Structure 1
Amino acid sequence: MTQMTAVDDGGPLREFFRLLILETGNVVSIFCGSEGKRVPAHNVLALQRNEYFFVGKCIALSITYGGPGPHFFSKSIARYLCGESITSPELEVPDYEIREKIEKVSKVQTTEQLRVLLDSEELSFRFEFGFSAPNRELNLEDKSDIVKSLSFHYLVYANRAELDQLMDGLQLMQQNSTLFRPLLQLTTIPLLTTSQMLKLFKPVWSELGSNKREEKESIILN
């Protein structure tokens, strides 16, 4: 019997990391938010067990060894993990009720409307994230700062310990943020269509009537 040595080009390892990353993004005790907008969930027990660190390490290892990136973090969280500044975080707050209240603040048109809304029971939670300025001192111009403060609190500051532990596992990402950020967030690159593919290349036909000509026509036209 002839013994043959199997050749491993990294396929099994990449498949392992693909399944690992797929399952990681769906662990509800670690992450929350809709698909493509995942945010670390606040979980003290997971923090104590260093689970966020291990998740970050798994992601870094997957990318290092040719596996996939997670592609499930929200854009703001991806930027934070890569050490970049965050813009427009209000649309990515995972809690629907909080996001709805933030949207109400963003839609007020007058100073009076803003003060009435902030003075209501619905927005009483604003004191929890440190925005304690008296209503009489607030004007419509302060609206964007209020929206940003609310959004940053629920998207980043409330989960700061989890994010920082995740960053510890992702260390190498911060060194190449431009390169790695697209691997962390959901991308919307359109698929290449058949017609676009045909436009990229010009076939070199064999002599008309030859067997090779028939083979090429079969491949290209079918």
Structure 2
Amino acid sequence: MAEDYGGPRREYFRLLMIELQEKMGIFQGRPGRLLFSYDQRALAQNKFYTAGKLVAWSIMHNGPGVQCLNPDLFLLMCGQKPEMTSFDLDIFQEEELKMKLENVVRCGTSEELEELKCTMGDWIADCGVPNIYTASVRDLPTIHRQIVTHYLYHRVASMVQQFIAGMNSCGQMWEIVAMNWREFLPLFTNATQKLSRNDIRNLFTISWSPQGSNHRTGGGDGLPVGVLADVHSRRRDGYFLRGVSGVCDRGRFYPPSWVPAEMPA
């Protein structure tokens, strides 16, 4: 272990997660809201399996998660049911797909629905929604959500399952993630905000030394000098050091403290 309690190791995994997102060819879409690529060649080459295993290794060794998946996709992978009431269609790269989904959203009358059934009924049925032919206007929000879910998850289910298999090859890591999806959400998605000065201050409950004491001198309105000295000399426990290292690393999220440090690879 390095002198800074694993800093070089975390930096290695941080760079590895960036390479995984940008160079492996398994993701597509908007940065920070990525989807799995529908790529049969990558599937045959087990790239999704490899990516899942690398993510699991990073988490197991106190590195960052991939932090790039679309939040709705992550919830679907965990067996949850995202609302998707205000879904951003721009995450899809295919212009024709976005146009068709916009047509479903704009449909609001019985006449428009009948035209939709004539012009797009077969396509909607092929997305796993065969009830389009008997649907009413009030069914359209559900139909829209089902089509989006098809392109987010069901169409790439083989890729998703290979990624999950790669993670589970390391101590059933995905099973842990799925059971504790709220805690792992910041490790797989970019649905976080940058920490402000006040946010950082609120992370700590400060017990100030008496006014005029040597420990209080020079503390100002930041962290007490005595606390920083304790951190530097490593007199604080591991959980406190982990919290401080997370703040110093610009708020990057690392695995929950209860994730086992050692798992079979």
Matches of residues 78-117 of structure 1 in structure 2 within 5 Å?
78-88=74-84, 90-91=87-88, 94-95=92-93, 97=95, 98-117=97-116
Compared CA separation, residues 127 and 187, structure 1 to 2 (3 A): closer
CA distance in 2, matches of 1:23, 1:174: 25
CA distance in 1, matches of 2:4, 2:149: 46
Aligned counterpart in structure 1 of residue 185 of structure 2, from 181, 185, 188: 181
Q: Paired residue for 2:218?
A: 215
> In the TM superposition, what whole-angstrom CA distance separates every residue of 1:107-138 from its partner, at most 9, and x where no partner exists?
322122122133236x7632432434574x33
Aligned counterpart in structure 2 of residue 143 of structure 1, from 132, 140, 144: 140
What runs of 5+ residues in structure 2 fail to find an aligned partner?
A: 224-265
Q: Paired residue for 1:204?
A: 209
Q: Paired residue for 1:120?
A: 119
Compared CA separation, residues 217 and 138, structure 1 to 2 (3 A): closer
CA distance in 2, matches of 1:196, 1:134: 51
Matches of residues 8-87 of structure 1 in structure 2 within 5 Å?
9-27=5-23, 29-87=25-83
Compared CA separation, residues 106 and 219, structure 1 to 2 (3 A): closer
TM-score (norm 2): 0.67
Contact 1:30 1:46 in 2 (8 A): yes
> C-alpha displacement at 1:183, in angstroms?
1.4
Aligned counterpart in structure 2 of residue 166 of structure 1, from 163, 179, 200: 163
Compared CA separation, residues 211 and 85, structure 1 to 2 (3 A): closer
> C-alpha displacement at 1:194, in angstroms?
4.7
CA distance in 1, matches of 2:146, 2:214: 70
> C-alpha displacement at 1:193, in angstroms?
1.6
Q: Paired residue for 1:191?
A: 195
CA distance in 2, matches of 1:7, 1:202: 28
> In the TM superposition, what whole-angstrom CA distance separates every residue of 1:86-116 from its partner, at most 9, and x where no partner exists?
4328536523532343233123221221221
CA distance in 1, matches of 2:113, 2:208: 65
CA distance in 1, matches of 2:57, 2:141: 39
Contact 2:10 2:62 in 1 (8 A): yes
Compared CA separation, residues 217 and 47, structure 1 to 2 (3 A): closer
CA distance in 1, matches of 2:63, 2:78: 19
Contact 2:71 2:191 in 1 (8 A): no
Amino acid in the other structure paired with 1:49:
Q
Contact 1:81 1:174 in 2 (8 A): no
Amino acid in the other structure paired with 1:180:
F
> In the TM superposition, what whole-angstrom CA distance separates every residue of 1:67-97 from its partner, at most 9, and x where no partner exists?
0011110112212333333432853652353
> C-alpha displacement at 1:190, in angstroms?
4.6
Contact 2:124 2:132 in 1 (8 A): no
Compared CA separation, residues 195 and 130, structure 1 to 2 (3 A): closer
User: In structure 1, the residue corresponding to 2:219 is in which secondary structure?
Assistant: helix
Compared CA separation, residues 170 and 146, structure 1 to 2 (3 A): same
CA distance in 2, matches of 1:130, 1:194: 48
CA distance in 1, matches of 2:38, 2:220: 59
Q: Paired residue for 1:129?
A: 127
Amino acid in the other structure paired with 1:204:
S
Superposition RMSD in Å: 3.3
CA distance in 2, matches of 1:6, 1:16: 13
